Amino acid sequence: MSSRFTPDADWLPFHPAPSVPRFCPPAGAVDAHCHVFGPGSQFPFATERKYTPCDASKDQLWTLRERLGFSRSVIVQATCHGADNSAMVDALRHSNGTARGVATVRMGTTDEELLALHEAGVRGVRFNFVKRLVDTLPHDELESIAKRIAPLGWHTVIYFEAQDLEEHRGFFTSLPTPIVFDHMGRPDVSGPVNGGAFDDFVSLLSDHDHMWTKVTCPERLSVSGPPRYDDFVPFAKRLVETFPDRVLWGTDWPHPNLKSHMPDDATLVDMIPRIASSDLLQRKLLIDNPKTLYWKEER
Ligand code: 0GY
């Protein structure tokens, strides 16, 4: 069935045939940040969305995962689906326990709906402060959502941009759950890795041991660009080495909103040994840490 949605004119589709990475992830490795889009014919995109993507189905995600050498996925609700988590939940339900999810929840979400999300494999909510993606909800609404999901043992995933840290810092520190920041808090990786604005993000994590970060998105953050994304490396490496038990890695497939290039996903996997240089760091990043948040029952 063809989608009734036409992707934005400047939308770059994901790489059609990624290479096999040179780096071989350890058995049980988790891609802890990826999305599914639609298919739009089955799971319509939200009316309030800020972009219309191409379809990127669960089956395409599983194919990519196998090609890259990963065993498990964490599917993060993307803003193009608003608070309708059906596509993500459908993927979880068809994953045979190999995927967990992060949902978008609203004030109107009932307790029964939260329990159904949990039963499907959701283990977190996502709060998004990136203005080009969403009309952000007020802090007090988000706070009451966080209070409701805390008893389920969930965490809060936060997507914000580095220049907005001061505005939201008090809110972040007030939340009652573990917090996971997307994409290292989106630093300017053309700036200094030590002694500049990035220190503020590092201090936030140093001061709060319930805060975690994803060391993701060289393809989004790098100024020096593909295929090596050299400028991204020292930032991710600093976080992996400073907070080895509080970092997660993911592909960000199918890479929403990239306007300059679309990565071969294997080049992203090949960055792992450059940011996590020992077997131990790689094991924590790819297996132990995601287990702590998403497959707690196995810890
Ligand atoms: C990402 C990044 C982006 C988009 C979304 O939910 C989303 O729409 O997350 C972005 O455009 O920076 O994490 O995939």
pLDDT of residue 108: 94
Q: Please report which confidence band the pLDDT of residue 65 belongs to, taking 50, 70 and 90 as the band edges.
A: very high
User: Catalytic residue among 31, 182, 252, 265, which?
Assistant: 252
Mean pLDDT for 78-107 is: 98
CA of 257 to the centre of ligand 1 (A): 7
- The response to whether residue 156 sits with its C-beta less than 6 Å from ligand 1 reads no
pLDDT value for 255: 98
Taking only the tens place, the pLDDT of each residue in 110-155 is 999 999 999 999 999 999 999 999 998 899 999 999 999 999 999 9
> What is the pLDDT averaged over residues 19-44?
98
Residue 182: CB within 6 Å of ligand 1? yes
Provide the whole-model pTM: 0.97
Output the average pLDDT for the chain: 97
Inform me whether the pLDDT recorded for 2 exceeds 60. no
**DSSP labels, 157-225:** EEE--GGGHHHHHHHHHH-SS-EEEGGGG---TTS-SSSSTHHHHHHHHHH-TTEEEE---HHHH-SS-
CA of residue 204 relative to chain centroid, distance: 19
Say yes or no to pLDDT of 40 above 90: yes
Nearest-angstrom CA–CA distance, 31 and 70: 7
Give the three-state DSSP class for 75: strand
For the Cβ of 258 lying below 6 angstroms from any atom of ligand 1, the answer is: no
Is 252 known to be catalytic?
A: yes
CA-based torsion, 129, 132, 138, 142: positive or negative: negative
The domains located in the chain, with CATH, are: 30-298 (3.20.20.140)
Does pLDDT of 9 surpass 60? yes
- Provide the pLDDT for residue 4: 79
Percent of the chain at pLDDT exceeding 70: 99
The answer to whether the CB of 219 falls within 8 A of the CB of 258 is yes
CA of 9 to the centre of ligand 1 (A): 18
Ligand 1 within 6 A of CB of 251: no
- Average pLDDT on 14-21 reads 97
H-state helical runs in 109-161: 111-120, 139-149
- Going by alpha carbons, the residue nearest to atom 3 of ligand 1 is 256
CA 55 – ligand 1 centroid, Å: 15
Task: Measure 256 CA to ligand 1 centroid, in angstroms.
Answer: 6
| CA of 126, closest atom in ligand 1 | 6
Closest CA to 87 of 72, 71, 104: 104
pLDDT at 293 over 80: yes
Read off the pLDDT of residues 170-222 as tens digits, 9 standing for 90 and up.
999 999 999 999 999 999 999 999 999 999 999 999 999 999 999 999 999 99
Give pLDDT, residue 111.
Answer: 96
Q: What is the pLDDT of residue 3?
A: 63
pLDDT tier at 283 (50, 70, 90 boundaries)?
very high
